[in-house]
A and B are shown apart, each in its own frame.
Chain A
């Protein structure tokens, strides 16, 4: 391919201009890289590491909850692990996981050479390890790590020890990281699409990320504002959340959940994009209702910003507010339902095979819906008085987050791994990983519905004896689930470092796959496209041309 790429500062250095063509070697490659694939890899490795750390924290939690009474942990220590589990999983595992996937796939899918702002992209990634160093440093400080829930409600959180400012600043850094990531992805999508790829012909994963980026940019600064107010309340004498000065602790909840609810959709919209990509591939049938999928995404994005107080039904909000948030929350399941139905319709009368990514995607549709259903039950405000802060909530959000968001990341990794590494993973082991994960995820979280309905409160290290049995089941499930993930790690390690004897992946990898990422070789070259790949884009369909078989004549 002709050398068309223009390089940055290298221009000033004359002969060293070659740097842009291949990465420098060693650790400096990773520290100074501006390449979207390198950074995508870094993001994904970081995410995987955080999944493991967050998973270990959750095992600590589950170990303590195995039996009533305190076995290993003081309640404060329990709260530290519980809180850090949530913070690590949300800000360290799921979000960077999705940003990593966006880094890798969005430029390829829209036919760009790299993300729009590669240097900012580097900064956005490296913010995360530094932020987590700050966050984890709390474990070694007087008063311990953050321990008052990932929601950090005042006035409770103001009782924290020396780690308090570090938690706040860590949140700031993570927020900046998300904002830079979001700006990068949004600008890449809006500005660097291949010629002919209009927004309505764009791959659905890019669409889901565009809406996600918008949500991130609206809400992350609000979170930054919320925690800044915590900081000044603690150290500079302001009274935002203190009634004696005219403030209100509920003010924090409003500001936090104005961020927090869109945040949960930030953790699920890219997953919707992934599932909408994988299901058509293995159903060998175009995505049903592409346009309605896009509108549903936009609709969810908008609605998610006006439902936040459903986390505060028990706060004693004024009745009209309560009613408004009840109705708006319920409304959000209509576009979500449209997505579910569209996936089922995509599968309907397809010609399906069940490779690992597809299995995880089907599990996603079913288990996410279960989580959504319990969410809908909670949307009935008076009933939420009973559910609120019980394990019913814990079951709800783990159903949407683990077999939802986390499964989608796993599915995406299986789906694109051959493209990234150039070798096929071991399908048998992949399937085994899937079935074990499927069984054990339900063993962990399904009983938690029962626990919650029977009244077990969340964020507790100890519980009344009548909840003992289901907790035991749940804990066993947690250990088994975690253990099953080692199959996945083995598969990953084989594909990354021990490829001897493994089958080389074709460029197309999956025979039903469409999209620009499949026209580049496997493994994908360092810079995917040196020139805008105009010739591949079909003028009419949102589908990218099938390079082998001509245009996909998919008009029904």
Chain B
């Protein structure tokens, strides 16, 4: 019977599900849930998320449980004569007020966390993050360091249509860059996020940061990474054909390593200069640029000077 066959096929799918889950969980632990991250803020967000999730699960069990019980118990076979009631003011009041209270229990802690996320004052240092199609530029005004961060050559090669290199063979495929942002551990870092052409977004989940970058405006964000390591993310606002190839990678290092790094950067000539964002990005001449040539529109809001303006020194 063909019908039966189709049904059995359908029934086999949950099995596929489970095996996929088992397989997937070997790759990385956070493959089915939000990472708890490494900053105080990301922990808080994680707990809010888990609270929300459990509220939803409990509500789902209650609501769907009632519904499914009813489909079983009140089918025409088991319950041939339907009841006639059509309203119940008390009950309706309850299910208006109780959800409202649940919402308050979600809204208040969320508001508290939000206020924290918005408090970018008194950072250890400020890094200006400028998006452009399709790379990030990091500037450390306090150190006079500035450089461009683009996708690593290997990911880029593997990502080409018909590339012989398989993404599976590239370590940290699409989540790796040539020059990551480097910050010291345990220090509050303020990010000034902007763009020179179209909208982008700088985001690293483990740091609890996702902020859109707009040409002509600066958005602020902050994080304090409490664990040494490399944390990765991607540009999250569609920004054209290179959107998938704009990783955001942050290396959190010890203070000593950070000092060494700054010296090394200055020696390597990654110094800040007054520039036009587009020119700088193009001059960097990375592989993505060659493969996915930027349109010659450099968009509005081309960047003005960074060095020499007073407020910039707020950074330190």
Contact = CB atoms under 8 A, between A and B. Distances in A.
A binds B: yes
B266 interface: no
Interface stretch (A202-210, A404-412, A456-464): A456-464
A461 B241 CA distance: 9
A450 interface: yes
Interface stretch (A55-63, A212-220, A313-321): A313-321
A385 B117 CA distance: 10
A331 interface: yes
B174 A354 contact: no
Contact of B212 (A288, A316, A348, A362): A316
A539 interface: no
Contact of A383 (B110, B211, B217, B235): B110
A337 B103 CA distance: 12
Interface residues of A, number: 113
B242 A383 contact: no
B31 A466 contact: yes
A491 to B, nearest CB: 14
A385 B99 contact: no
B172 interface: yes
A466 B28 contact: yes
A155 B242 contact: no
Contact of A377 (B49, B74, B80, B241): B49
Contacts of B139: none
B75 A352 contact: yes
Interface stretch (A68-76, A122-130, A522-530): A68-76
Interface string A330-343: 11011001101110
A326 B103 contact: no
Contacts of A459: 238, 243
B64 interface: yes
A75 B63 contact: no
Interface in A296-355: 314-316, 319, 322-323, 326-327, 330-331, 333-334, 337-338, 340-342, 344-345, 347-354
B33 interface: yes
A454 B297 CA distance: 34
Interface string B241-274: 1111100000000000000000000000000000
A374 B56 CA distance: 8
B214 A389 contact: no
A348 B68 CA distance: 10
A374 B52 CA distance: 9
Contact of B297 (A73, A159, A377, A443): A159
B103 to A, nearest CB: 5
A455 B49 CA distance: 14
A473 B16 contact: yes
Contacts of B237: 153, 389
A365 B67 contact: yes
Contacts of A74: 161, 241
Given A314-B210, A439-B13, A470-B20, A156 B159 contact: no
Contacts, number: 340
Contacts of B53: 377
A376 interface: yes
A85 interface: no
A385 to B, nearest CB: 5
The winner among B99, B234, B301 for most chain A CB atoms within 10 A is B99
The winner among B17, B82, B220 for most chain A CB atoms within 10 A is B82
Given A354-B75, A376-B52, A459-B243, A70 B161 contact: yes
Nearest to A467: B31
Contacts of B63: 340-341, 344, 369
B167 A352 contact: no
B291 to A, nearest CB: 10
Contact of A341 (B23, B95, B193, B208): B95
A453 B240 contact: no
B111 A385 contact: no
Given A156-B240, A350-B79, A369-B63, A455 B48 contact: no
Interface stretch (A15-23, A102-110, A279-287, A500-508): A279-287
B229 interface: no
Interface of A: 67-71, 73-76, 79, 148-149, 153, 155-156, 158-159, 239, 242-245, 248-250, 283-292, 314-316, 319, 322-323, 326-327, 330-331, 333-334, 337-338, 340-342, 344-345, 347-354, 362, 365-366, 369-370, 373-374, 376-377, 380-383, 385-386, 388-390, 428, 432, 435-436, 439-440, 443, 447, 450, 453-455, 457, 459-470, 472-473, 476-477, 553-556
**5 tightest A-B CB contacts, nearest first:** A243-B216, A316-B219, A556-B85, A450-B32, A349-B83
21 contacts: A70-B162, A76-B240, A79-B238, A149-B238, A290-B86, A314-B236, A319-B114, A322-B118, A323-B111, A326-B110, A349-B83, A352-B71, A352-B75, A373-B56, A377-B56, A382-B110, A382-B117, A389-B210, A454-B30, A455-B234, A464-B175
